[in-house]
Amino acid sequence: MVKQLVVNTPGQGLHEITREVESLVREAKLSEGLCTIFVRHTSASLVIQENADPLAKRDLERWIARLVPEGDPFYTHDTEGPDDMPAHVKSALTATSLSIPIVGRSLALGAWQGIYLWEHRRRGGRRELVLHIGT
């Protein structure tokens, strides 16, 4: 089963999508299998991260901003602004797809794990994800 999930992001940062993905997995009615998620953009990424303490999310956002700063004179690709090339680098350093086992009709995530779409552009936007849910 292939599904599309559209996420509208308000701007940079980690945006949790666990509930939306779980809902699509439940629709598939598989007792076991695999859910693969792919983001169709070069300036956003996917991560599984802690979803209990919002400070972890904030620290990750601050860490990547420090690791790949905007406005670095080293970048020449800035067609869409100072966050253009840094967004591509951040996406390259993280992941554009995730695979999560399905066990007992649910995602086999740990107690404090959540699925996040990581928006790397300041303006945010409409992000498309493709999910393959199967055995």
Beta bridge partners of 59: none
97-103 and 32-39: which strand pairing?
A: antiparallel
The pLDDT value recorded for residue 71 is 87
Q: 33-74 pLDDT, tens per residue?
A: 999 999 999 999 999 999 999 999 999 999 999 999 998 899
Residue with tokens 């406005």: 71
* Strand, coil or helix: 75: coil
42: which DSSP letter?
S
Query: What are the Cα distances from residue 119, in Å, to 20, 28, 31, 35?
Result: 17, 27, 32, 21
Tokens of 124: 């945010």
Q: Which domains does the chain have, with CATH numbers?
A: 2-134 (2.60.120.460)
pLDDT digits (tens, 9 = 90+) for 65-123: 999 999 889 999 988 999 999 999 999 999 999 999 999 999 999 999 999 999 999 99
Name the pTM for this structure. 0.95
β-partners of residue 49 are 114
* Tokens (6 digits) for 36: 């693969």
